[in-house]
Amino acid sequence: METNKDSIVDVRSVVEAISSDDNDAPLYQVESLCMHCRQNGTTRFLLTLIPHFRKILLSAFECPHCGERNNEVQFAGELQPRGCHYQLNFPPGDQKMLNRQVVKSDTATIKIPELDFEIPPEAQRGSLSTVEGILLRAADEIEALQEERKKVDPQSAESIDRFLPKLRACAKGESPFTIILDDPAGNSFIENPFAPSPDPSSTIKFYERTPEQQASLGYVVDPSLGGEHRDEALSEELNSTGDQTRREPHGLIGAAAGQRAIAQGNSAEFAESLFRYSAPEEVMTFPSTCGTCAAKCETRMFVTNIPYFREVIVMASSCDACGYRNSELKPGGRIPEKGKKITVLVKNINDLSRDVIKSDTASVEVPELDLVLTSGTLGGVVTTVEGLITKISENLERVHGFTFGDSLDDSKKSKWLDFRARLNKLLSVEDPWTLIIDDALANSFVAPATDDVKDDHQLSFEEYERSWEQNEELGLNDIDTSSADAAYESTDATRKEGTTV
């Protein structure tokens, strides 16, 4: 490729456009080499923002000599905190389903289980297309090398000849199939035409990345600090008696402050009303490693009890080297035998200030808006009723990326505008509305507005038996505690015999 002064200026302009916050970035073009005919073609760059989704860089190449054309999408923003997993079921004969817009990042994998077919991240670069377009492109790329493949490996070429009609049948909607889009970077997206209502044909899940996925995205991580290994390391740290784990005063709150209040003549009832939650006497601090830059940092942990809820473990880490911060709230004790549904009737502004703990396994529903968020949509959050609604609004606009794009017709756009106005109207509490948090593991909580939860008539709790499907999704059906139960019973019997003697 022959480089000239103008092309250097264009490349510099593209870099400046990517780093700027101007949404009206112009179109830039660069002369580049065509990989098909080895002549010079033109690549055009456009930095654009998909409303309520991501800032992306679109590039399109065209060669006037051989007619070669291709396009690519790259993400100019940051990696998301969690990975995303989309699964859609396509019935036969529904062409509209195949017209769903798809944003596929460089790190995304696409699978069709029925065909035992997978498009790995390196096979297709980032693209902005539809479900039909992605499948047809995959079929064309596989078919392009068939002639050479027949000369080298006739048996594989024959198998591919039998496979391609099946793939094209799926792309045309002639056969039912399931498509799975998994992206550890969290930057991929499949359009939901029913938004903001749930899509009956699809499921969306967000998950924590494994150390291997973190490393593939360019993070410097220690695999021993991920998942179960991290919990084991934490347990070893807490059980150790060395100097690495130290204890420090929590501050002038919690149990210590309550004892002082009682010592000064205040009643226990006054102390309990003054300190809503019992904070710990001390915080345990132990060394750890930053999951982003691998520098040494500290993790602080304490156990506290939330009245009318349960004991919880609060963990917080901060890195002075890169500024990364992370906090987690984990339930203490055993897994509850029943799930819990929490219903809050929001009547006034004060109800918006209620404290809310929403776990990863909880779903959220607002019947007045026909709004349902499945478990895992928002992750685990500690906030207020107002903060939860604000997070829901922000999350819906992020997940349903093409909310106000050029491809959306006026009727759908007006529907979204009306829904967003109604969602924001909840925060003004012009009319009473209901918030329902359903948690199969009963790890969610909404604070009462009165000293005694029984006196709060706007807040209700309902326990229920989990279904087999819920236990299966949570992995509870595979838990076998019979050996542990037998060991505990044997230990108790031995202790009783020793006491009797």
Going from N- to C-terminal start, the domains of the chain cover 5-75, 83-207, 223-331, 339-466, 468-501
Q: What's the pLDDT score for residue 110?
A: 93
Tell me what the mean pLDDT of segment 141-147 comes to. 86
**Separation of first and last alpha carbons in the chain:** 93
Answer whether 0.75 is exceeded by the pTM.
no
For residue 271, name the pLDDT band (cuts at 50, 70, 90).
Answer: very low
CATH number (1.20.1260.10, 2.20.25.420, 2.40.110.20, 2.30.30.50) of 223-331 reads: 2.20.25.420
According to CATH, the topology of domain 339-466 is Jelly Rolls (2.60.120)
Q: What's the pLDDT score for residue 315?
A: 81
SS3 64: coil
For residue 109, name the pLDDT band (cuts at 50, 70, 90).
Answer: very high
SS3 426: helix
For residue 75, name the pLDDT band (cuts at 50, 70, 90).
Answer: low
Q: In whole angstroms, give the CA distance from residue 134 to residue 171.
A: 8
Query: 339-466: same fold as 223-331?
Result: no
Tell me what the mean pLDDT of segment 183-190 comes to. 86
pLDDT tens per residue across span 194-249: 776 778 888 888 888 888 888 888 776 554 544 444 445 444 444 444 444 444 44
CATH number (3.30.70.120, 3.90.1150.10, 2.60.40.10, 2.20.25.420) of 5-75 reads: 2.20.25.420
Res 84 pLDDT > 80: yes
Architecture of domain 83-207: Sandwich (2.60)
Phi, psi of 4 (to 5 degrees): -125, 175
In 88-121, which positions are buried (b, 16+ CB within 10 angstroms) versus exposed (e)?
bebeeeeeebbebbbbbbbbbbbbbeeeebebeb
Q: In whole angstroms, give the CA distance from residue 463 to residue 482.
A: 26
Averaged confidence pLDDT in the chain: 75
DSSP one-letter code for 352: G
Q: Per mean pLDDT, which range of 225-239, 330-344, 414-428 is the poorest? A: 225-239
